[in-house]
Structure 1
Amino acid sequence: MNRQAIQKESLLPALRSRNYRLFFVGQGISLIGTWMTQLATIWLVYNLTNSPFMLGVVGFTSQIPNFFLAPFGGVFVDRFSRYRTLIGTQVLAMIQSLTLAVLALSGVIQIWHIIALSLFQGFINAVDSPARQAFVPELIERREDLANAIAINSTMINGARLIGPAIGGLLIASVGTAYCFLIDGLSYIAVITCLLAMKIQPWKFAATQGNPWQKVKEGFVYAFSFPPIRAILLLSSLVSLMGLQNTILVPVVAEEILKGDAKTLGFLMAASGVGALSGGIYLATRRTILGIGKLISLAPAILGIGLIAFALSRFLPFSLFTMLFVGLGTILQIAASNTFLQTIVEEDKRGRLMSLYTMAFLGMMPVGNLLGGILASHIGAANTLIIDGVACLIGSIIFSRQLPNLKQMVLPIYEQKGILITRKT
C-alpha cells in the first residue's frame, strides 16, 4: 500500500515502465546527434551556396515526403508492428547519416548530395514519425501515464535540442561539419540497442476490409469531421508553415545581422532549446490534461512574439533571450497538441491520426522552408520573421475565439475515458 502511494506521488510516472525507460535513454542519445546534424547541415549548405533560397530548398526536400506519404505511413503503422517498423527506420537513418559523414570527411560533398540525402531522410521520416508517436502507448504499463510519457518525449527532444546544437557549434568551429554527421550516425547504435532490449508483446492486428486509399480516406474523414481535431490540425499547419521558418533563417541572422559564426548559431539554437526544455519540463510535471486547450491557444502567441522580437534584435544577448520564447512557444504547441490528440483518439485510428498530425507539422515545414527562403531572398530574413510572427499571433487569436465551443465537444470524450467526472474544463 505504501509502495502504491509512492508510485502515485511519482513526478514522472511514465518512467516506471521498463520499456519506456529504454526508449527514453536510446532516443535521448540519438536525438543529440540528430540536432547536431541539423545544425551542421544548414551551416554547410549556407557555406557552400551563401544562399537563403538553397537553405529553403534543402529544408523542402527533407520534409516534403511527409506531406504526401505520411497518411500512407499512418495506414502502414496501423497495420504492421510499430516496434519492427521503428527498428527498420532507425537502421536506414543511421545509413543516411554515415553516408553524409563519409562524403564530408572525404571532401567531395556537394549540394546535390545533401539534397538527395535529405530527400531520403524525408522518406524515412514519413513512416518513422507516426510510428514513433503511435508506439508510445505500447511502452507504458498504465494508460493514465500516457500524457506524462508524451510530455517527457517533448522534454527529451528539447533537452537534445539544447545539448546537440551547443556541441555541434563547437565541433563545426573546431573540426568541421563532418564529425557532427559521424557522431549522429554512431548515436543510432544506442537507440537500436535499446529497442532490441525491450520486451514487447506480439503485435495483434485486427484484420479490416479496405485498401490503403480507403483507409487514408477513413482517417481524413475521422479527423476533419470532428471540429476539435480539425482545429488543432489546422493551427498546427499554420505554425509549421510560418512559425518554423526560423529553423532555416537563423544561420542568415547569425552571420549577416549579428555578424557571428558557427558558435553564434549554436548558441542561438541552444537558447531556443532552453526555452523548449522549460516548456517540456512544465508539461511533464502537469498532473492532468484538463486546461490543455488554453496552452494550445497561447503557444502560437508566445512563438509569434518571440519571432518578432528576434527579428528586430541587433544585440546577441537580447537575441538569445528572444529565442527562449521561440523555443517555448514551439514546444508548447507541438507537445500540447500531441498530448490532446493521443488522449482522445480511437485506438484503431491512432496511427492514421498521428500521421495527419505529422503531415500538419512536418509536412507543412517544407512549404514553409521554401516560402521562407524565397521571401528572405527578396525582403531579408528579418522582415520574413516579422511576417511569420504576425501570422502566428493571428492563428492564436482565431483558435482562442473557437476554444469555448471546442471544449464543449470534447467533454463527452473526457467523461467516457474517465478523465472528467464532476469537474468542468
Structure 2
Amino acid sequence: MYELLRNPNFLRLFVGRIVTNAGDSLYSVATMWLVYRLTGSSTYTGIAGFLSMAPSTVQFLFGPVVDRLPLRRVLVGTQLAQGLLVLVVPLAAAFDVLSVWVLLVLIPFLSLLNQPVYPAESAALPRIVADDQLVRANSLFSFAYQGVDAAFNAVGGLLVAALGAVTLFAVDSLTFAATTLLFATLAIPAVDASDRDGPAPESRASRSSTVDHSERSTAASDGGRSVETSAEGSVISYLHDLGEGVAFVRGTVVAKLIVGAVVVNFAVGGALAVLPAYADGLGGASAYGLLSAALGVGLLGGALAGSVVERFPFGRVVGLGNVVGALAWVSAVAVDWLPASGLLFALALVPVGVTNVLEAALIQTLVPDELLGRVTAVLGSASTAMMPVGALVGGVVAGAVSTAVVLVAAGGSLAVLGVYVLVVPSLRRLPPVSNVSTLTAE
C-alpha cells in the first residue's frame, strides 16, 4: 500500500476520489431526505431513486468517449459541471422556489454527468500502477468509494438534522471544486494507436508487469489517444468502438456474473429507495445517515478483505459469501432495532464488497488498456440496468404494502446470486484471481 501512495499520479487520483465521494455522500443523503421531507412519500423517493440510477444504464455509451478522449479532461470537465449544477438547490431555496420538482429535474442531469467518471478512473488505474498492484489499488479505491461513503453518510444524516439538507448542497459544490483542481494535475499515459486492436480476451501478454511509459506519445499527460488517431471522430468510428466493448464481454464469465447481478441490483435499488421511510420510523434523518453508513461500512469491509481472500477460489468466495450475506440482511430486517440492524446490514454487504474488488482486478488484468474504458462502461451499464426499475417498483410497493417487504426481497436477491454462482459450473470453478488466465467461459 505504501508503494502505491508514493506514486504521485495514483495519490492525486485517489485523494480526488475521496474528496468527491465525500461530497457525493452528503449530496445523496441530502437529496433523498429532502425529497422525502417535501413529500412524505416513499413513492416520490422511489421516483428520485429511479432518476438518480437510470443514467447508469447508458454508461456504456460513454465507453468509446472515455477511450478516445484524454482522461484528464474527462475527469476535470465532469467535476466542474457537477459542482456548478449542485448550486441550483441552495439558489432555489434562497429565492423561495425550491420544490420536489426542482430536485426531480436536477437529479438525472447530475447522475448523467457522473457516468464517464468511473470508466475513466478504471481506465486510468492500469496506466499508472503495475499489474501486481491492481488488487491493492482497487482495494484502496473501493475504500474511497465505500469507506468514505460510510463515514459521510453518517455525517450527512447528522448534518441534515442539525443544519438542513439545503446546506449540504452548498458544501458539495466545494468538494467538486477541490476535486477539479486535483484531477487537473494528473499525468495519465496515453494508449498508442498501434495497440488499439489489442489481444484477445484469453491473453493480456502485451501488458508489462511494470509501468514504463517512456516511449508513450507526447499527448500522454492527458491520457488520451496518440496523435495518429486524434482525427477519428465520426459516428461510424464511435459505433465501431462501442461494438468492440460489447463484443469483448460477450461469452465471458463476466457476462455470466452480470446475470446474477441484475437480480441483486433490482432488489437493492428498491431497498435504497425505501430506506428514508424505513429510517424515519427508527429515528429520522440521523437514523437514515447511520443506516446508509452501515451499508457503506459493509462494502468497505469487503473491499479491504479483497486483498486477503484473493488467494482463495473466486467462485466459492462469491457464492458462499452472498448466501451468508443474505441471512444477515434478512435478520437485520427482522430485528428492526437500529444498533443491531445496522450491524447486520453491514455484515450482509461484506461479500458484495469482496466481489466488487475481485471482479475489478480480474477485468483490469485481462482486458487490454485500449478497450478498458469501453468494457468497464458496458459492464457498469449492464450490471446496474435494473437498479432504477427496482427503485421505482420498490417505492410503489412500499407505499402500497410496507418497506419491510421490499427490504426482505433485497436480502433474498443476495441468496439468489450466491446460489446461482454455486450451480453454474464455469463460475463455481473459477480459481483465485491471480490464477485466472482467460475471461472466456468454458
TM category (shorter chain) comes to 0.7 to 0.9
Q: How does 1:233-252 map to 2 (within 5 A)?
A: 233-252=258-277
Return the alpha-carbon distance in structure 2 between the equivalents of residues 290 and 169 of structure 1. 37
2:337 paired with 1:349: no
Residues 1:277 and 2:303 are matched in the alignment? no
Residue among 127, 149, 165 paired with 2:137:
149
Which of 97, 101, 108 is residue 112 of structure 1 equivalent to?
Answer: 101
* Change in CA separation of 1:314 and 1:143 when aligned onto 2, cut-off 3 Å: closer
Distance 1:149 1:354, change over 3 A: same
Of 218, 229, 237 in structure 1, the residue corresponding to residue 254 of structure 2 is 229
Unaligned runs of 5+ in 1: 1-10, 418-425
Which among 318, 334, 339 is matched to residue 317 of structure 1?
Answer: 339
- Worse overlay, 20-29 or 357-366: 357-366
Q: Is the alpha carbon distance of 1:387 and 1:412 closer, same or farther for their aligned partners in structure 2, counting shifts above 3 Å?
A: closer
- Give the CA deviation at 1:294: 3.1
Cα offsets for 1:34-60 (capped at 9, x unmatched): 101101111111111111111111111
Q: Does 1:168 pair with 2:168?
A: no
Matches of 2:417 and 2:147 in 1, distance apart?
27
Amino acid at match of 1:27: R
CA distance in 1, matches of 2:373, 2:432: 20
Shift of the 196–138 alpha-carbon distance from structure 1 to 2, 3 Å rule, reads: same
| Amino acid in structure 2 at the alignment position of 1:268 | L
Matched residue type, 2:156: G
Question: Please, which of 206, 213, 216 is the counterpart of residue 239 of structure 2?
Answer: 213
Structure 1 distance, partners of 2:305, 2:427, is 26
1:381 to 390, 403, 425: 403
| 1:302–1:328 CA contact under 8 A, matched in 2 | no
Distance 2:328 2:302 in 1: 14
Pairing partner for 1:38 from 28, 40, 44: 28
Amino acid corresponding to residue 119 of structure 2 in structure 1: P
Q: 1:364 and 2:390 equivalent?
A: no
- Worse-superposed segment, 211-220 or 111-120: 211-220
Within the alignment, does 1:48 sit opposite 2:38 as a pair? yes
Deviation at 1:87, TM superposition (A): 0.8
In structure 1, the residue corresponding to 2:308 is in which secondary structure? coil
Please state whether the residue corresponding to 2:398 is helix, strand or coil: helix
CA displacement 1:243-272 (0-9 Å, x = unmatched) = 34322222111113x2x1111111212222
Tell me the amino acid that sits aligned with residue 336 of structure 1: L
User: How many pairs were matched up?
Assistant: 401
**TM-score, with structure 2 as normaliser:** 0.83
Residue 255, structure 1, aligned to residue 280, structure 2: yes
Quote the sequence identity (%). 24
Q: Is the 8 A contact 2:366 2:438 kept in 1?
A: no
Distance 1:342 1:406, change over 3 A: farther
Q: Residue 71 of structure 1 contacts residue 359 of structure 1 at CA under 8 Å; is this kept in 2?
A: yes
Secondary structure at 2:116 match in 1? helix
Find the counterpart in structure 1 of residue 197 from structure 2.
none
Q: Give the counterpart of 1:204 among 222, 225, 229.
A: 225
Match status 1:63 vs 2:53: yes
Map of 2:358 onto structure 1: 336
**Alpha-carbon spacing, 1:159–1:172, altered in 2? closer, same or farther (3 Å):** same
- Confirm whether residue 99 of structure 1 aligns to residue 125 of structure 2: no
> Which of 170, 190, 209 is equivalent to 1:182?
170
Supply the distance in 1 between the matched residues of 2:401 and 2:438 (Cα, whole angstroms). 51
Distance in 2 of aligned mates of 1:376 and 1:393: 21
Correspondence for 2:117:
128
- 2:193 corresponds to: none
**Aligned-partner Cα distance in 2 for 1:415–1:136:** 20
Please report how far the alpha carbon of residue 403 of structure 1 lies from its aligned counterpart in structure 2 after TM superposition: 4.8
Q: Against the structure 1 CA distance between its residues 167 and 411, is the aligned structure 2 distance closer, same or farther, given a 3 Å change threshold?
A: closer
Q: Shift of residue 287 of structure 1?
A: 8.3
Equivalent residue of 1:337, what SS? Answer: helix
Which of the residues 284, 287, 291 maps onto 1:264? 287
Q: Report if the CA contact (8 A) 1:24-1:153 is conserved.
A: yes
Q: Which amino acid aligns with 2:24?
A: T
Q: CA deviation at 1:78?
A: 1.5
Instruction: Structure 2: state its 5+ residue gaps.
Output: 190-219
Q: Do the aligned residues in 1 keep the contact of 2:264 with 2:414 (CA within 8 Å)? A: yes
Q: Which moved more, 1:161-170 or 1:273-282?
A: 273-282
1:306 aligned partner, one-letter code: A
Is residue 344–residue 413 contact of structure 1 (8 Å, CA) maintained in 2?
no
Report the TM-score, using the length of structure 1 for normalisation.
0.86
| Displacement of 1:12 | 4.8
Q: Is the 2:268–2:387 contact (alpha carbons within 8 Å) kept by the matching residues of 1?
A: no
Aligned CA RMSD, in angstroms, stands at 2.6
Q: Which amino acid aligns with 2:347?
A: F
2 CA distance for matches of 1:13 and 1:296?
29
User: Is 2:108 aligned against 1:83?
Assistant: no
Secondary structure of 2:256's aligned partner: helix
Distance 1:71 1:394, change over 3 A: same
The one-letter code sitting in structure 1 at the alignment partner of 2:262 is S
Find the aligned partners of 1:346 and 1:199 in 2 and give their Cα distance.
20
How far does residue 178 in structure 1 lie from its aligned partner after superposition? 1.1
Cα deviation digits, residues 314-365 of structure 1 (max 9, x gap): 2222212222124424322333322222222132321111012211344332
Q: Is the 8 A contact 2:299 2:346 kept in 1?
A: yes
Q: Residues 160 and 168 of structure 2 are in contact (CA less than 8 Å); yes or no, is this contact kept in structure 1?
A: yes
Is the 1:296–1:337 Cα contact (8 Å) retained in structure 2?
Answer: no
Q: How does 1:406-425 map to 2 (within 5 A)?
A: 407=429, 414-415=436-437
Moved more, 397-406 or 187-196: 397-406
Residue in structure 2 matched with residue 15 of structure 1 by the alignment: 5
Deviations along 1:352-383, one digit per CA (max 9) or x if unpaired, are: 11012211344332112112112212221101
TM-superposed CA distance for 1:197, in Å, is 2.2
